[in-house]
Amino acid sequence: MKPLRIGLLGIGTVGGGTFDVLTRNAEEISRRAGRPLSVVRVAARNEAKARKVVPASIPLVTDFRAVVRDPEVDVVVELMGGYEPAKALILDAIEHGKHVVTANKALLAVHGNEIFSAARAKGVIVAFEAAVAGGIPIIKALREGLVANRIEWIAGIINGTTNFILSEMRSKGLAFADVLKQAQAKGYAEADPTFDIEGVDAGHKISILAALAFGIPLSFDKAHIEGITKIEAIDIRYAEEMGYRIKLLGIARRRAAGIELRVHPTLIPARRLIANVEGVMNAVLVKGDAVGATLYYGAGAGAQPTASAVIADLVDVARLIDADVNHRVPYLAFQPDRIGSEPVLPIDEVESSYYLRLRVDDRPGVLADITRVLADNMISIDAMLQKEPAEGEAQTDIILLTHETIEGRIRRAIAAIEAQPSTRGKIVLLRLENLA
C-alpha cells in the first residue's frame, strides 16, 4: 500500500521529537497503520538549524505554504504553535484537500469551530490528540472509548508548569515567586510564563475536553479562568492540616441549568489519587454514568510524549484516509447536526464547596457574627480550624470549609463579613472539590 505522505510544519522540540519517533519506530508504526508513514517535506524558519535533524534526502524549505500546497503531501502536521500563521496555514491546507494533524490547543480552543467547519466542508480529517495532556490519550478516550457514557464531569491537572510550582510550594514551604524562578531555570516554565501561571493554557485544554464530553461548541471565551499567582504557602499548609492538597484544576461539569467551565486553584482531599500527582505530570479524571470515574495519568508535555500523540493521529489518518466521510469519528465526538446549545454558566451560578481564610480580632462573639452571616446566605460549615494567635498579637486566622453552595451566595457572604469591624483585610477564597 502506498505511504502516507507527511508535510511537517515546524521542526522544533515537538517537531524534532515527532521526526525522531517516526524514524526510530518506522517498522512498528507501519505494521499498525497498514502502510508506511513518510515525511516527504519539512518547513522550518531556520534551515541551518533544521538540517541538524532532517536528513539531506528530505526537501527542507522556509516557505510554509509550499508544503501546505504541495500535491505530493497527503497530511499536514502543524507543530508551530500560536494563532498565526498557524491558523492561515491550516485553513489553506484544508482548502487544498489536505488532512491536518495539530498539537495547537490555543488555536483550536479559540478558532476550532471555524477550522472544523471548513474541514467538514472539504471532507478532510483534523486530528488533535496532542493538543491536550501531551502523550495521555484523553482525546481518544472521550471521542471513542467512553461513547456509551453520559459524561457527568471532568477534572484535570492539565498544566505541568503550575503543578510543579504547587508541588514544590507544598513539599518545601517555598513562596510562589521563588518556585517560579526554579521552574524557569529547569525549563518547565517559559521566560514569559503568563499563559501557564494565569491558567490560560489549562483554559484552552479544558474547553476542548468540555466540547468532546458534552457535545457543545468550543467555548473558551465563556470559561472562568484563575491562575496560581495569588496562592500563598500558608494556605497550602492550612489545607494540608485539614487533609487537602491544592492543585490547579480544569473543571467541566454538567448541571441541570448548563455547563460549568472553569480553571482555578482547588482543594482536593489528599486521599484522592489525582491529589497525589506531583511535579510536571498531568492527570485527567472523567466521570461517566456507566463506567464511573476513570483516571488518565502521564507526561503532559515534552518532545517524545507529545510525538507519541501526534503519531497516533497520523496512524488514524492512514487508516481512515480512504474511508467514507460519514464513517469517520466526528471532530468533536458528536455528529455535527447534534451539537448542543447548553449555556456555559457564569461563575456566580457555579456550585462548589469553599475554603475561606479570615484574619479576625481575637475576641468573644466574632465567630458567632461570621456564622450568622453564613446562615443568612444559606451556607453551612463543614469544618473549621481556628489558630492560636501568636504571642503578643490580638488577631488570629480562622479557616472555614463549607458544604456545597452557589458561588453567588458565598460572594455575598464574604462581602458582608469583610464589612464587619472585627475582620482584618480581605478573605482568601479557594474552591474545594471532593471528586468522589
Catalytic positions, written as ranges: 205
Bridge partners of 78, per DSSP, are 9, 102
Q: How far apart are the first and last CA of the chain?
A: 49
Q: How far, in Å, CA of 13 to CA of 10, rounded?
A: 9
Residue 409 to residue 403: CA distance in whole angstroms = 12
Distance CA 404, CA 249 (A): 17
How far CA 187 is from CA of 131, 172, 220, 377, in Å, comes to 20, 19, 27, 46
Beta-carbon contacts of 265 under 8 Å, excluding residues fewer than 6 positions away, are 166, 226, 228, 231, 246, 247, 248, 249, 430, 431
Grid cell digits, residue 280: 510536571
- Residue 413 in contact with residue 379, Cβ under 8 Å? yes
Backbone dihedral region of 406: left (phi > 0), alpha (psi from -120 to 50 degrees) or beta? beta
